Amino acid sequence: MLAKDAARRDAAEVLEKYWSPDKVPVDPVAIAMKLGIDVWIADLPFEQSGYIVKHASGDAQIFLNREHAPTRRAFTCAHEIGHYWERKTVPVPADDEYSFVDYRDTSGRYNLHELYADEFAGALLMPSSRFDQLHDWGASDTAIADIFEVSPSAVDRRARSLGLRR
């Protein structure tokens, strides 16, 4: 199974267990809290959107950049939940401690974990059944972004990922 397919499946599972696939906008902070993850708004370098850290035998914590727009923080939070869920469902032996840092500029930092987390975030915040419906109705990226409370660029990325545009 491709990483993006696994991420979509896993995001749908998280929505089903911890939210409702029909309820939008999705609140990733509420989902994180239901998963036992603490979420903090923090003073971070501007190029750092956020990060997740889990120390051995401790709870995971997500830190989001205070200076970033709420839509960016929501996507970053969902992205970090993706890292958490990937580690939870495909644990690395003897690895109870990890961290992932999300930068605005991913040059040189993009790998399968980042691909999974991005796809997970898009699928979590913009459930495909509702996204496809809005797209089929001809809603603009701005209108879709307003409904899901994400950025128009996140809508464009989701549409491309779903093969709805090139």
Q: How far apart are CA 161 and CA 166, in angstroms?
A: 9
Dmax over CA atoms of the chain, in Å, equals: 49
Confidence class of residue 98 from pLDDT cuts 50, 70 and 90?
low
Beta-ladder partners of 61: 38, 53
Residue 9 DSSP SS3: helix
DSSP per-residue string spanning 77-129: HHHHHHHHHHHHHSPPTT---EEEEEES--TTT--HHHHHHHHHHHHHHS-HH
In terms of Cβ atoms closer than 10 Å to its own Cβ (0-12, 13-18, 19+), residue 45 is exposed
pLDDT of residue 22: 85
Q: Any idea where the domains of the chain sit in the sequence?
A: 3-126
Q: How far apart are CA 73 and CA 48, in angstroms?
A: 11
Instruction: Examine the pLDDT at 130 and tell me if it is beyond 60.
Output: yes
Class of domain 3-126: mainly alpha
Confidence class of residue 132 from pLDDT cuts 50, 70 and 90?
very high
Q: How far apart are CA 16 and CA 94, in angstroms?
A: 29
Amino acid of residue 1: M
Confidence class of residue 96 from pLDDT cuts 50, 70 and 90?
low
Max mean pLDDT range (2-6, 54-58, 87-91, 158-162):
158-162
